[in-house]
Chain A
């Protein structure tokens, strides 16, 4: 498979500020990659570089087989969908007119307009002016715009901002469909819990540098954060706070009928063995560290450093 995005030592400097520092990244076709990071971590800069809106200061970048800021841009842009972070469309036009305008500019079949409006759940509001739309409706209009022309690469900057949980789920289902068709998706988000099941890999950025890159499994392995094991039941006379033959198991919370343990991944089985061997334990939950925990783990050193040094500008 050809990589859709390939960058080596990609760097963007802006005056004294280094927005992005020597990023190496290869994204394959049909992959869903989450870009995670604080404000100013370099997420938007990365997206703008990939879109060809800005040119790299150093390093190489190829998107769909060419540099996005050169003559290749013209062809590239027809296969690209982008949803900017803050966009408010032409208020005086109706949703359909807005989408129609963008469809014309992208030179695609305008029959897609109604199909897409229906798909994002704006079919009933297609003829209303954007002025009357709620924030969630505007965001969905933006999504429909990004989906115009069946893009091969989709870049979504904070796509679920302003969406209610049901709409967020619908949105991620759309992302899943797109991936099955072979579309590559890059999305940045700070709403982490919803995004987990739908991404293949995550790229964690901090202060312009790549802090971690990998699938959730790889990130968990790399971080080796403790698992959480919860148990429920009735266990008169059992002292859970002691008696673990392993230092990698730490009881966190206990009372007469509930127990929570922080367990290093390699000690999972020994903890489970004792729990299952104890009469009275009725239920056991094993919770691997979530993306949120991983994100906090990887970005903690940078967050600590940037809170002591000067505040960095947002990209």
Chain B
């Protein structure tokens, strides 16, 4: 068996043992079912409103939770093993640093992927059975896209977490930086963009492109495309409504957001002193 898969297998096993998979899946499922059920609360009603509203609300939930979970899951991937001494030991094994990091990514990615699919899948099943007037094909298509893009978003932040983890020498510092990254991409970036939007009066057709500088906005755009009626709820990404961002391209950009930090992390890790 390839060393990368050996590492991935162990990380996944560790994730199951830590109950990470279970915890993430349960949180996502509970919140998702809640959102589906109380989706109409804003308009004074109760019960399932529409698929569009539900999916956009779910993506808003995911945009906050998934990056946080991914960072928490993976911030100590390298620095944690360094502190416990196992990294030094692993480096004396017939195992390259690249396959160690890739193996960890695979393992952590699988944990997050399985948990997200499970969590949103449970919500989907509940909606399919309990809500009226939902076309099953539409539900599967939009939830499928939500799950796919959520997993990609999670992997982006796992890659960020690794970049942090190979850069610092203390676990506490890595945790702090991870929270900083979350804060920056999930909250601060959109606020800054909003401020820019207000100050630039008109003719700024380059503004929507700035959204691509933030993977979380890319994620929001993916789940907004195809729901014309839902664009009122999507916040700052509404500036992109006239721009033809195709979901496929956006997914590809998310993949780019995974590859870039992960590649940097591997480069950095290969020159890591033991």
Q: Which A residues form the contact surface with B (CB < 8 A)?
A: 48, 51-54, 74, 77-78, 80, 82, 84-90, 92-93, 97, 101-102, 104-107, 145
With A87-B84, A90-B14, A93-B17: A104-B89 Cβ-Cβ less than 8 Å: no
CB distance from B158 to the nearest CB of A (A): 19
With A48-B274, A54-B273: A105-B90 Cβ-Cβ less than 8 Å: yes
Interface SS of B by simple majority: helix
Q: Contact check: which of B3, B13, B273 meets A105 at CB < 8 Å?
A: B3
With A48-B274, A84-B88, A84-B89: A77-B18 Cβ-Cβ less than 8 Å: no
What sequence of 0s and 1s flags, for each residue 86-128 of chain B, a beta carbon within 8 Å of any chain A beta carbon?
A: 1011111111000000000000000000000000000000000
A85 to B84, CA, bound (A): 11
A92 to B17, CA, bound (A): 6
Q: Contact check: which of B86, B92, B93, B94 meets A90 at CB < 8 Å?
A: B86
Residues of A within 8 A of B3 (CB): 105
Interface residues of B in 187-238 (CB under 8 A from A): none
Residues of A within 8 A of B93 (CB): 77, 102, 105-106
Chain B residue with the shortest CB-CB distance to A155: B92
Q: Does B246 contact A (CB under 8 A)?
A: no
Contact call B94/A53, Cβ cutoff below 8 A? no
- Interchain Cβ contacts under 8 Å between A and B, 12 examples: A52-B92, A77-B93, A78-B94, A82-B92, A84-B85, A89-B84, A90-B14, A90-B86, A102-B93, A104-B1, A106-B94, A145-B89
Q: Does B268 contact A (CB under 8 A)?
A: no
B interface residues, tally (CB under 8 Å): 22
Contact call B85/A87, Cβ cutoff below 8 A? yes
CB distance from B95 to the nearest CB of A (A): 6
CB distance from A22 to the nearest CB of B (A): 22
Residues of B within 8 A of A101 (CB): 6, 10
Residues of A within 8 A of B89 (CB): 82, 84, 87, 145
Task: Specify which of B18, B85, B273 lies most central, judged by the most chain A CB atoms within 10 Å of its CB.
Answer: B85
Residues of B within 8 A of A82 (CB): 89, 92
Chain B residue with the shortest CB-CB distance to A102: B93
Known: A53-B91, A90-B86. 15 other contacts (CB 8 A): A48-B274, A53-B88, A80-B92, A85-B85, A88-B84, A88-B86, A89-B84, A93-B13, A93-B17, A97-B13, A101-B6, A102-B93, A105-B3, A105-B95, A145-B89
A145 to B88, CA, bound (A): 13
Contact call B94/A107, Cβ cutoff below 8 A? yes
Contact call A77/B85, Cβ cutoff below 8 A? no
With A90-B14, A145-B89: A77-B94 Cβ-Cβ less than 8 Å: yes
CB distance from B97 to the nearest CB of A (A): 12
Chain B residue with the shortest CB-CB distance to A148: B93
With A78-B94, A82-B92, A93-B14: A104-B6 Cβ-Cβ less than 8 Å: yes
What sequence of 0s and 1s flags, for each residue 1-17 of chain B, a beta carbon within 8 Å of any chain A beta carbon?
A: 10100110010011001
A87 to B91, CA, bound (A): 13
A128 to B89, CA, bound (A): 22
Contact call B85/A86, Cβ cutoff below 8 A? yes
Residues of B within 8 A of A104 (CB): 1, 6
Residues of A within 8 A of B86 (CB): 87-90
Residues of B within 8 A of A52 (CB): 92
Chain B residue with the shortest CB-CB distance to A146: B89
Residues of A within 8 A of B17 (CB): 92-93
Contact call A105/B88, Cβ cutoff below 8 A? no
Chain B residue with the shortest CB-CB distance to A53: B274
Chain B residue with the shortest CB-CB distance to A145: B89
A58 to B67, CA, bound (A): 46
A97 to B274, CA, bound (A): 25
Residues of B within 8 A of A106 (CB): 93-94
A274 to B84, CA, bound (A): 59
Contact call B1/A92, Cβ cutoff below 8 A? no
A210 to B85, CA, bound (A): 27
A97 to B9, CA, bound (A): 11
A211 to B6, CA, bound (A): 44
A104 to B8, CA, bound (A): 12
A82 to B89, CA, bound (A): 7
With A84-B88, A86-B85: A105-B6 Cβ-Cβ less than 8 Å: yes
Contact call A92/B18, Cβ cutoff below 8 A? yes
